[in-house]
Amino acid sequence: MSTLKEIRDHVIDDLDLQEETFVTEADLDRWINEAIADAESEIHTLYEDYFLVEADPVTITLGQQFVDYPADIYANKIRKIIYTQSGAGNDTSAHEVKRVKNLVSAKERDLFVNDAVNPILEWSPSNSAANGRKIRLYPSNGRDGLLHIYYIRNAKRLSLDADECDIDEFERYITQYTKTQAYLKDGDPRAADSAGLEAKFKNDMTLTLSDMAPDNNDEVDMDLSHYEDSVGGL
């Protein structure tokens, strides 16, 4: 994976911008991140599982109702949540925390919290003025344990020279987009040819993503066997 500095230096060297003052390093960094944002949009449209990741386990406690979303989540896209709790003798209780389908029924569970011991947890998105965006757990009495959250993340934006591009398969497009923008700002007639090459690299990127995506008859499920094999009594 190339760093921000490496991508920027590549553009500077290819376009002989070492003594250029009209196109600044700040310009190049902005265009690099614009290209990353554009590539990210293509990825989320064609094969969002490219960005599928499991967060570090989140500890929850009895009575906890709200959990933070992962900091780098894209559009609050949660794919799956698994609850686990280790007990005596290394036995583990585990279940999927499914998204609430009926908020009225979920709220009713809150009203009868004393009737549930070690309940099966559910979740719903919440975005209140007081708490902001959160994962709301039901029922409100909750339980102690860990949440394993699988979600779709953002592509990393590059701000420091040492920051690495985490969509390195698409660096050619990112680099060419940046070159096109530099040509355009400088009024260089080579901008048209650069834009054509940029379009080619974007098409290549699209084809790569299409090849990655499984068809509807060959969907790939997440491997959760390490949880399923350890399921004990709930």
**Average pLDDT per consecutive 10 residues, the chain (234 residues; last block may be shorter):** 96 92 95 97 93 96 93 95 80 87 71 68 89 90 93 96 95 97 94 97 92 61 52 42
Shared domain check, 131 and 205 = no
Shared domain check, 198 and 129 = no
Into how many domains does the chain fold?
A: 2
**What per-residue confidence (pLDDT) applies to 221?**
55
**What per-residue confidence (pLDDT) applies to 91?**
63
Domain assignment of residue 217, yes or no: no
Shared domain check, 146 and 56 = yes
Question: Do 165 and 3 contact (CB within 8 A), yes or no?
Answer: yes
Shared domain check, 134 and 60 = yes
Domain assignment of residue 80, yes or no: yes
Nearest to 181 by CA among 198, 158, 200: 198
Domain assignment of residue 97, yes or no: yes
**Residue 73 belongs to what domain range?**
50-153+223-228
Nearest to 180 by CA among 169, 167, 189: 189
**What per-residue confidence (pLDDT) applies to 81?**
97
In terms of phi and psi (left: phi > 0; alpha: psi -120 to 50; beta: otherwise), the region of 128 is beta
Domain assignment of residue 83, yes or no: yes
Q: Where are the alpha helices (DSSP H) in 72-145?
A: 103-111
**What per-residue confidence (pLDDT) applies to 222?**
55
**What per-residue confidence (pLDDT) applies to 142?**
85
Domain assignment of residue 233, yes or no: no
- Name the pTM for this structure: 0.81
